Chains A and B, each alone.
Chain A
């Protein structure tokens, strides 16, 4: 998956902090902080170089350039670039890890993930998500559904 122009993506900027459940049906670029869960079945997620995500993520494709603490479930491809620091398990069809990336966790290649696509990611992060306490900032322009978790 080539790194696309970020203008093609919904954008969460560097100064934005989101706590809760984040889901949507378009590609998303996160360069801020997200804590909770990210659900983008059928779409792509890029965690930018300044991005700090503590969440399980579920998307078609995931590129990590910043920090991710959580599991990745990518139905097509997961990629860790050289600046990535990722702690968590990766379940995907294809994985690419650049020289220099830090990764701690499991890589599980599943040949046919379309059958299981849409399966909910592990519940750990969703359960630990807390109600939003930060300004949405530029995220207000994003056609995304952001549900502050009530901890249920």
Chain B
């Protein structure tokens, strides 16, 4: 796993300016959509910022959708602690007591988007572990990971489903989700290579990679 230093590099793409929306094709979404178009009522957990488009897309197809913005929740200052080495960390135990509190094996689909890339290191493994327990056996999780070419200033996006294989991407910052908090950029915390990703999801039954052109690796994992 590669961690970024604190030095700033050139910001990626002026199109990532606040509020600007871009569209991209997503092969993993296309595969996931086949499940969403099923007759069965599915239970879906969206871990990105509140997306009216995703809620509409899922509810129009008769599914139940849960919206839970974990990245915003992780910015709660009261979670800050020091780890055993005295370094700043977040209290993962308390975080999981207050977030992702659902019955086990409740969800058919978890939309993780790019959460793991921007979430604090101390929360990544505990959160993925909790998501494993929340997914039904055979349930699917969709996640995006930046490749090394992305750079530490890769903009953090929220993803809106606008079609069978099309996503609209909207740049987000801290403070966008909860009023009153100042807006600042979410920084890419690390880059996962393929092996890191396989390790992260080692408890899952299968993992499928989809390469994209925009320095993003799409992953569809099945519990």
Interface, chain A (partner B; CB < 8 A): 83, 85, 95-99, 101-109
Q: For chain B, residues 54 to 72, give those with C-beta under 8 angstroms from any C-beta of chain A.
A: 55, 58-59, 62, 64-69, 72
Contacting pair B64 A108 (CB below 8 A): yes
Judge whether B137 is part of the interface by a CB distance below 8 angstroms.
no
Query: If A105-B67, A106-B65, A107-B67 touch, does A85 touch B52 (CB 8 Å cutoff)?
Result: no
Q: For chain B, residues 163 to 179, give those with C-beta under 8 angstroms from any C-beta of chain A.
A: 177-179
In the complex, 10 of the A-B residue pairs with CB atoms within 8 angstroms, ordered by the A residue number, are A96-B52, A97-B52, A98-B52, A101-B52, A102-B177, A104-B67, A104-B69, A106-B66, A107-B59, A107-B65
Complex: chain B residue closest to A67, CB-CB: B179
Contacting pair A95 B67 (CB below 8 A): no
Total A-B Cβ pairs within 8 A: 42
Judge whether B50 is part of the interface by a CB distance below 8 angstroms.
yes
Point out the residue from B50, B64, B66 that lies within 8 Å of A102, measured CB to CB. B50
Complex: chain A residue closest to B66, CB-CB: A106
Q: For chain B, residues 37 to 84, give those with C-beta under 8 angstroms from any C-beta of chain A.
A: 50, 52, 55, 58-59, 62, 64-69, 72
Contacting pair A109 B52 (CB below 8 A): no
Q: Pick the most buried of B58, B69, B72, B177: most chain A CB atoms within 10 A of its CB.
A: B177
Point out the residue from B55, B66, B179 that lies within 8 Å of A95, measured CB to CB. B55
Which residues of B lie under 8 Å from residue A97 when comparing CB positions? Answer: 50, 52, 55
Q: CA of A108 to CA of B147 in the docked complex: distance in angstroms?
A: 36
Point out the residue from B50, B62, B177 that lies within 8 Å of A109, measured CB to CB. B62
Q: CA of A69 to CA of B178 in the docked complex: distance in angstroms?
A: 14
Which residues of B lie under 8 Å from residue A108 when comparing CB positions? Answer: 64
Which residues of A lie under 8 Å from residue B178 when comparing CB positions? Answer: 85, 102
Shortest Cβ gap from B201 to chain A (Å): 25
Q: Which 3 A-B residue pairings sit nearest by Cβ, starting from the closest? A: A97-B52, A109-B59, A103-B50
Complex: chain B residue closest to A99, CB-CB: B52
Shortest Cβ gap from B167 to chain A (Å): 16
Which residues of A lie under 8 Å from residue B55 when comparing CB positions? Answer: 95, 97, 103, 107
Point out the residue from A83, A95, A101, A106 that lies within 8 Å of B50, measured CB to CB. A101
